[in-house]
Amino acid sequence: MTTTLCLDFGNTRMKCGVFVDGQFIEEIVLGDDRDDTILALLEKFHASRSILSSVIDHNPGLEELLRSRTQFHKLDHRSKVPITTPVGKPDTIGADRLALTAAAVTLFPGMNNLVIGLGSAITYNYVNKFREFIGGGISPGMEMRFRSLHTLTAKLPLVKADWNFPLVGYDTRTNILSGVILGMAKEIDGIIGEYEEKYDNFNVLMSGGDAGYFTRHLKKKIFVDPYLIYKGLYAISELNQ
């Protein structure tokens, strides 16, 4: 059996997707990226391959540790990917966006895909049927909106996400929940609508830990996979081994 660890280090959490012989097995949320934490992960799963997507300043010894124990690949703009990136500065494309679009063309080859990633930021990523990553957009994510309401005002509290809220809020907390979550849902619906006016016949894929808060409020038919980024990382890992 071949075990591959797909490490995704975002602004909010450090996570790992475990694949055995090409099949996604489970997601691990890491408390930190210290050497002993990563060593324990490697030993638990007897990993032989690994790939890292990171948008943070991670442990400087991490890459060498992974390289010494596995066939390791660090995802960046020089990686072999199953898409082309005809944009002005390909080195500025986030690793997470490369992974999401790689997953889309792997799961839905020969089709146009709009991939929406819900994390610290919302990313909109359009890749056409010719596997060209055209670009997209970036806007604040859910946690960022909650925090900005709290830190940039004098009295508004920091609210935690909750799917159970009314359309018409009856106190400060439910007003914020309704405004942030429904506001994001309407933004997503609106962005999809703009793409529909410009492009014909495309899939909409959504991924990220926050996806569950919005799907019930969206009007559009969307393919939701919370593990999409790992599947993209795995596909890229296979290309680069």
Catalytic residues: 96
- Say if residues 160 and 142 touch (Cβ distance below 8 Å): no
**Token digits for 173?**
């907390």
Angstrom distance (rounded) from CA 159 to CA 176: 7
Where do we find the tokens 């604040």?
Answer: 140
**Token digits for 230?**
């790992």
Angstrom distance (rounded) from CA 117 to CA 96: 9
Q: Is 153 left (phi over 0), alpha (psi -120 to 50) or beta?
A: beta
Q: Running DSSP on this structure, what letter comes out for residue 84? A: B
**Token digits for 66?**
């992974």
